[in-house]
Structure 1
Amino acid sequence: MSTALPFQFLVTSLLLFLGIIYRARTGGRPPGLPPGPPGLPFLGNALQLPSKDAYKTFTKWGKQYGPIVAVKVFSQSLIIINSVKLAADLLNKSSSSTSFRITRRMVQLSGFDRSIPHLQPTTEFNKSRQYTKMALGAIEMTQYEPEHQRRALRLVIKLAQNPKNIYNEIGVWVALGFEHIAYGTDDEEDASGFVEMGRHALAIFTAASDPMIVWAVDVLPFLRHFPSWLPGMSFKRKAREWKRVLRDILNKPFHHAVRKINAGLTSQCLISRVAESHSLDSLDEDDLVILKNAAMNIYIGGFDTMTSIVASFYLAMVLHPEAQTRGQQEVDSVTGRSRLPTFADRPNLPYVDCIMKEVMRWAIPTPFLFPHVQDPTSDAMVDGVFVPRGSLLIVNTGGIFEDPKIYANPLQFWPERFHDKNLLDPLSIAFGYARRQCTGIHFVEKRLWITIATTLATLNICPPTENNSRMPKAEWTDGPVRLPLTYDAKFNVRTPALLET
């Protein structure tokens, strides 16, 4: 009879016990913290953190304890922010001290510590942001408008041709779009298998970074010095494999882009822009690593988020045909059903804007962004709130978007609410704060808007009619990025001639 399971159980229990002792050395809840649920000795509130829909629990705590809630997990303070104003005060006005990141050993071991989301606010972070803005800034996005329009048309054609594979079509479309911006690839053949490689790298990045996944080495950092063959050290073997995948995604698409640049074949992208501003050969090894990480961040950073938003838009149109009909009528009134909408039409398509904002609010893909961290060397006092050094600062965006004091009937999909220009624009906070705001905000907004407008002009999105179909429901997966539960739909072409333009 095998003893592997009992032995591993004993090892895990021992590690957990040691972790509790190790983390408890710094004491309990500091005086002056904002209110929060009472915790246990040593553990703090660790057992109260939910495994699913954490933002709903944080919202409940906010109603009970106030707009800012403090909890403890071992010795780590978590400050949960349920208020837009407090989030802005803490993260925007005090950004010089609240833009730090937590150090995770599993992230370091797998090599992702030099990716932009994990960088501390250093010179390398600033340089990485500069690189991404070269490709994703507002001016650059204006230059990409014809490309956005071409890609939006491509997606609706693919969905009309292959409605049984919604998620795959959206996923490949999203990946190719980001890959084009980062590396200049133009189509699936040119991508040379990088789409699947990017998906794999993103899954690894998420597993290493997800705050709800606790790796033994993050609790007991000294374990990184133990040999990988010891029981309980499987994380070291996993990190070694992940590092190999990271090496591939950093180098293979980059070198593919460089070969195309040297042959004069590449489209405008981050790598070509850097090559134009100063020769790639002139970059030292460190700058080259920064550039490769910036390109990778563009490529995989928004993959799941964009997929979630677009899939949620199609889901909303199936579930709320009245919104789809009104959007179609608005687009038709501008285009006459004789042409596709363009960005020049946007001032005359306010309801399309309303749909975009409501999708972002109603189906928020990321209820929490990456936690900010208060400067590890100094405490802070913001608006009378004591923030201990090293605290994780978590904005409950999902809770804010379901706050009835901000949005009436928040669980209802109702784009008309955004005709009120004084209402909080979800795009203003969904992409983060201050120096940590996602540099892809302009890309996502433009691509999402033209995709919605093009879809409304060309397709009727309807519930499936087959008996074995997966009926659409307003339900999402749980995790760092929420995706609608897999569903089926029919994509009927409204005006076939428009798909041939």
Structure 2
Amino acid sequence: MPLSLLVVAAILVAGLVVAIFLIRRRSSCTPYPPGPLGDPIIGNLRQLPGHDAAIVFEEMGKKFGDVICLRVLGSTIVVLNSLQAAEELLDKHSAIHSDRPVFTLYELFGFKNALSAVPYGKQLMRLRQAHHSYLNKTKTSDLRPMLTVEARTLGKNLLECKEGEHELMLNRFSTGVIAQVVSGHRIVSAEDNYLRMSKMVLHVSTLMEQVPAVTPLDFLPFLKHFPGWFPGAHYAGFARQWRPVARELYTFPLETVKQQRKDGSAMPSFLLEQLEFIESTPKTEEGVDLVGELEANAASMFAAGEATTWSALSVFLLAMTLYPQCQARAQTEIDAVIGNRLPEFQDRESLPYVECLYNEVFRWNTGAPLGMFFNGLVSGFDWSGIPHRSISDDIYRGMFIPKGTTILPNIRAMSHDERIYRTPTLFDPTRYLPAPEGRGEPFFTGKYGFGRRWYLHGPASRRQQRLDSSRDRLVDMSYQTSPRLGGGGKSSLRTRCIMGC
């Protein structure tokens, strides 16, 4: 009898092995996307760029095509270098490719439950629903008076600030806007706690820019349990060192609004509305911590809104410095249409060149060329480029994409696709105008993400930054956004030019 059982077990094991072999053989009949030849065992580890990954992959795509594949220590990475590939794969096949890979460094910082990092599933749906309930089309229209006041304050501050202080003014504006959205708090002092917190976040982002594109943690996550001095665990120690900054980003806004509710001073905000919703919600699914999710949601909203707005306006000032003819034309259009008053939201349709200039800012220098996986923690605050993960096998253009594949949308390559944009490195708002004045090139649509990970803040961000750029151009009355020379004849204008332009 035992022998019979042994025979049966052997047959079952043999059958399982044969089945696995046949499945792999069938999948192997469909080729992987093309890519560079790797080394034994480690695969393409040596080909993964340490820096400027978006540009490196863009160049790689010129040889292998707009969909390229790399294998690293048994993991599969697919890079999408064209908008067409991203839309066809991430939009049309969104049910398969909307998951996230495990971001070990992100987790060590304490952002595990952030909207941009959570896996595809019920938790993501709850987080997105909470965001949408406050940042829908109707609610964002209600933000217009606040945005108008803050934009005018920004223009005044830029006019009056000293040389080299424009970044402080942009930070004060971007933080002021998102602080009111998240917690109803209006910044009136340079010593405001929200400003202090945002400066710490930006400081960490600067440090993160020095982190290589790929660390051992990405492929050997068990290293997170080792001290920072252990080989391969250096960046785990770095993340733990700065974790308190992330923790304050989670706790401070929520605790502040809770206290304001007690003393009756709480202003309308995302946090206040969600706290009231949670209190009125009947018993939730077991194990679901709605308050903890709210804490993470507010932190995600603050970090994303502050960093992306600051980055976009910095790029705008950089572009106006490098291309003063664009600034002059925008000013001429504003003067002709609006006159001496300040722009309002309803003026948008009457300012076609300003609209083109706004879109060119986002195409010319995207906020996250490849996203968090290759550019560090804070680059992930612009969610358009954060990697996706496949939850099942897929076939695309006759190419096999296995379950568990990390998919990287290369936003930089898409926005600089020479098949769509002539001289893509040139800042040229007229490219979008119809002939004969322009070439009728399409606005770049990949900046707000793809599929079921589409960036929910898009509508609010578009309204905010469009008005900001219009108002800022009026600053040329005395500021001119042209290079202000300091000692030695060098421009005092500095910005994070992510793209390397």
TM-score of the two chains, using structure 2 as the length reference: 0.81
Question: Which whole-Å deviations, capped at 9, do the CAs of 1:148-169 have from their partners, x for residues lacking one?
Answer: 1111111111111114212122
Change (3 A) 1:319 1:348: same
Aligned partners of 1:88, 1:211: CA distance in 2, in Å? 30
Indicate the larger mover: 199-208 or 240-249: 199-208
2:194 is the alignment partner of 1:194: yes
Matched residues, percent identical?
A: 26
How many residue pairs end up in the alignment? 450
Which residue number corresponds to residue 307 of structure 1?
310
**Aligned partners of 1:373 and 1:391 also within 8 Å:** yes
Q: 2:298 aligns with which of 292, 295, 298?
A: 295
Which residue number corresponds to residue 68 of structure 2?
69
Which residue number corresponds to residue 496 of structure 1?
none
Indicate the larger mover: 185-194 or 433-442: 185-194
Which residue number corresponds to residue 386 of structure 2?
370
Which residue number corresponds to residue 463 of structure 1?
483
Aligned partners of 1:441, 1:43: CA distance in 2, in Å? 39
Change (3 A) 1:286 1:204: farther
Which residue number corresponds to residue 400 of structure 2?
386
Counterpart AA for 1:108: E
Change (3 A) 1:236 1:134: same
Indicate the larger mover: 268-277 or 146-155: 268-277
Deviation at 1:441, TM superposition (A): 1.0
Deviation at 1:247, TM superposition (A): 2.7
Which residue number corresponds to residue 111 of structure 2?
112
**Aligned partners of 1:90 and 1:382 also within 8 Å:** yes
Deviation at 1:209, TM superposition (A): 11
Aligned partners of 1:110, 1:474: CA distance in 2, in Å? 28
Which residue number corresponds to residue 498 of structure 1?
none
Deviation at 1:388, TM superposition (A): 1.3
User: How is 1:226-237 mapped onto 2 (pairs within 5 angstroms)?
Assistant: none
Aligned partners of 2:32, 2:238: CA distance in 1, in Å? 38
Change (3 A) 1:462 1:62: same
Change (3 A) 1:422 1:87: farther
Aligned partners of 1:473, 1:186: CA distance in 2, in Å? 27
Aligned partners of 2:234, 2:360: CA distance in 1, in Å? 44
Counterpart AA for 2:273: R
**Aligned partners of 1:100 and 1:372 also within 8 Å:** yes
Counterpart AA for 2:472: T
Aligned to 1:36, the other structure's residue is in SS state coil
Aligned to 1:406, the other structure's residue is in SS state coil
Counterpart AA for 2:446: I
Question: Which whole-Å deviations, capped at 9, do the CAs of 1:451-489 have from their partners, x for residues lacking one?
Answer: 1111223422222243435327999545xxx698xxxxx
Aligned to 2:249, the other structure's residue is in SS state helix
Which residue number corresponds to residue 15 of structure 1?
none
Question: Which whole-Å deviations, capped at 9, do the CAs of 1:126-178 have from their partners, x for residues lacking one?
Answer: 11111222332222111111111111111111111114212122122212211
Deviation at 1:450, TM superposition (A): 0.4
Which residue number corresponds to residue 99 of structure 1?
98
Q: 1:417 aligns with which of 406, 413, 431?
A: 431
**Aligned partners of 1:70 and 1:79 also within 8 Å:** yes
Aligned partners of 1:283, 1:210: CA distance in 2, in Å? 45
Aligned partners of 2:206, 2:319: CA distance in 1, in Å? 27
Indicate the larger mover: 160-169 or 226-235: 226-235
Aligned partners of 2:84, 2:233: CA distance in 1, in Å? 44
Aligned to 1:279, the other structure's residue is in SS state helix
2:273 is the alignment partner of 1:273: yes
Which residue number corresponds to residue 182 of structure 2?
182
**Aligned partners of 1:39 and 1:72 also within 8 Å:** yes
Aligned partners of 2:60, 2:468: CA distance in 1, in Å? 38
Aligned partners of 1:189, 1:473: CA distance in 2, in Å? 24
Change (3 A) 1:186 1:73: same
Change (3 A) 1:469 1:176: farther
Deviation at 1:214, TM superposition (A): 4.3
**Aligned partners of 1:135 and 1:182 also within 8 Å:** no
Change (3 A) 1:379 1:202: farther
Provide the alpha-carbon RMSD of the alignment.
3.1
2:337 is the alignment partner of 1:317: no
**Aligned partners of 2:318 and 2:495 also within 8 Å:** no
Aligned to 2:298, the other structure's residue is in SS state helix
Question: Which whole-Å deviations, capped at 9, do the CAs of 1:294-346 have from their partners, x for residues lacking one?
Answer: 11111012333222210111111122222111111111122221x11100111
User: How is 1:418-497 mapped onto 2 (pairs within 5 angstroms)?
Assistant: 418-420=432-434, 423-426=441-444, 428-459=445-476, 460-471=480-491, 477-478=497-498
Unaligned stretches of 5+ residues in structure 1: 1-25, 485-501
Which residue number corresponds to residue 21 of structure 2?
none
Deviation at 1:238, TM superposition (A): 4.5
2:42 is the alignment partner of 1:49: no
Deviation at 1:416, TM superposition (A): 0.9
